[in-house]
Amino acid sequence: MNEKSTGDVAYERKQGGPQSDTHQARITQIEEFINEVLKRDLRELEDWIGQYNQEIMEFVQLKNTLQTFDAHLPEGYKTQVNIGSNVFMQARVTQMDKILVNVGKDVFLEMSMPEAEHFSDVRIKILTKEADVLRDESIKKRTQIKMSLLAIGEREKLMQQEARQ
């Protein structure tokens, strides 16, 4: 029988026949999945985590500012207020018992200092838990990427072994 017959698996392996093509097609498919799906999802998760972290920092800053006002400026403070078109006017804040807090969607509620601090604490806890869930999802995506890369490595080893036979 001729060594080049189409049914000869050893000859096809040496020549990079159908099995080699199958492995290469699967490797390409996995690479596309990594680049088009997993990495995109990971970037989106990282963007969301960044947004959550920014919002957490805003509430931490609010809490620190409230504590500073309470401890060091109980009688008020001087500031400059934008009165429009980037024109500022000096102002003095004397009433520190109530403040307006943005509770979301540009809705402002009047709160006492302790209420605003409590609101900040609650929002920080909620946002941190939500960010932790996203971090866990990010870890899962990274694991999927690593496992996919390992699968590619195994396929390439199989191709090399088949090429040697």
Domain CATH number, residue 46: 1.10.287.370
Which DSSP category does 97 fall into? S
8 pLDDT tier (thresholds 50, 70, 90): very low
Residue 3 covered by a domain: no
* 54-65 pLDDT, tens digit each: 999 999 999 999
Sequence letter at residue 34 = I
Q: Tell me if the pTM is above 0.75.
A: no
Residue 2 covered by a domain: no
* 100-132 pLDDT, tens digit each: 999 989 999 999 999 999 999 999 999 999 999
48 pLDDT tier (thresholds 50, 70, 90): very high
Residue 77 covered by a domain: yes
> Contacts by 19-25 with C-beta closer than 8 Å and gap 24+?
19/162, 20/159, 20/162, 20/163, 23/155, 23/156, 23/158, 23/159, 23/162, 24/159
Q: How many structural domains are present in the chain?
A: 1
Residue numbers of the domain that contains 61: 9-164
Residue 60 covered by a domain: yes
Residue 24 covered by a domain: yes
